[in-house]
Amino acid sequence: MARLAVEDLSISFGGLTALDGVSLSAGEGEIVALIGPNGAGKTTVFNVLSGLYRPSAGRVTLDAADLTRLAPHAIARRGIGRTFQNTEVFRALSALDNVRVGAHRRLRSSLLAAACGWPGVRREETQTTQQARALLGRVGLGDVADVEAGSLPLGSQKRLEMARALAGDPRVLLLDEPAGGLNTTETQALMDLIRSVRDERRLTILVVEHDMNLVLTISDRVVVLDHGRVIASGPPAAVAADPAVIDAYLGTVTDLQR
């Protein structure tokens, strides 16, 4: 059984069809890349999966539980975390506090308990801070825990977003263009991080990405969108050689190898 399943997803904005019968799935511990030209509907899929958009047709299930009509916070509580194409860190907060915010869905203390300063709240806050520091160290940001997030370079902000998403202990992680704006060295380090986090947590990871080296290197399967429809799905090498994919997105095989 697929951990995450998307069945016949459709959504329109005004007279524009953004997704038209999109279906895809991802198993436990699998990395699935979602690729396609600009405007193909990739981020729209992520917005539906995380509850920011409500589809006009189709459904989304996580471990067979229907998420389609749930609000974003309810979907996050059920185990879907994400990062964004344009980094969405809380710029005025420290890196540590950004990750602490990501852990909010797992906290058990009530607002009343927090206001009263009950011992259980203090213990939970201490534990959350320790876990946040550990996550920052895991993504290579342990030395900037107390630095204002908005002052960090782009690559560090992207890692911070990943740490914040992981703080919610997701079963599925959505990464929207994680390598955008990174240099070759940063991208290689990011690929190593994505694979190691997947292995440690048995995470299911969906990646929207234009860097084809990253896609072909880390993905178990690739799904290709064009004009809101799935035009190919399968192992990376097979998808990269698909004539329809080359025509719609990749260009020639020579272009892909550059």
From 183, 148, 157, select the one nearest 85 (Cα to Cα). 157
Say if residue 93 is in the same domain as residue 160.
Answer: yes
For residue 256, pLDDT beyond 60? no
> Does residue 21 fall inside a structural domain?
yes
Which of helix, strand or coil describes residue 232? Answer: strand
For residue 135, pLDDT beyond 90? yes
Half-sphere exposure of residue 42: CA atoms within 13 angstroms, side-chain side: 26
Which of helix, strand or coil describes residue 43? Answer: helix
Say if residue 118 is in the same domain as residue 177.
Answer: no
Domain with 119, as residue range(s), is: 80-169
Say if residue 151 is in the same domain as residue 180.
Answer: no
From 249, 203, 198, 199, select the one nearest 223 (Cα to Cα). 249
From 28, 11, 29, select the one nearest 20 (Cα to Cα). 11
Distance (Å, whole) CA 133 – CA 101: 13
Distance (Å, whole) CA 228 – CA 40: 5
> Does residue 215 fall inside a structural domain?
yes
From 225, 118, 93, 99, select the one nearest 165 (Cα to Cα). 99
CATH number at residue 96: 3.40.50.300
Distance (Å, whole) CA 228 – CA 131: 39
Say if residue 59 is in the same domain as residue 39.
Answer: yes
Distance (Å, whole) CA 230 – CA 35: 10
**Mean predicted confidence (pLDDT) in 145-158:** 94
**Residue 116 has what pLDDT?**
47
As for how many domains the chain has, the answer is 2
For residue 114, pLDDT beyond 50? no
**Residue 71 has what pLDDT?**
95
Distance (Å, whole) CA 152 – CA 95: 9
Listed residues 143, 169, 195: the one ending a domain: 169
Instruction: Give the number of other Cβ atoms within 10 Å of residue 30's Cβ.
Output: 19
Cα distance between the two ends of the chain: 38
> Does residue 63 fall inside a structural domain?
yes
> Does residue 88 fall inside a structural domain?
yes
**Residue 45 has what pLDDT?**
97
| pLDDT tens digit sequence for 14-64 | 889 999 999 999 999 999 999 999 889 999 999 999 999 999 999 999 999
Say if residue 49 is in the same domain as residue 86.
Answer: no
Distance (Å, whole) CA 7 – CA 61: 9
Pair 3, 171: CB distance under 8 Å = yes
Say if residue 130 is in the same domain as residue 117.
Answer: yes
Which of helix, strand or coil describes residue 103? Answer: coil
Say if residue 57 is in the same domain as residue 176.
Answer: yes
Say if residue 145 is in the same domain as residue 132.
Answer: yes
For residue 130, pLDDT beyond 60? yes
| pLDDT tens digit sequence for 193-222 | 999 999 999 999 999 999 999 999 999 999
For residue 110, pLDDT beyond 60? no
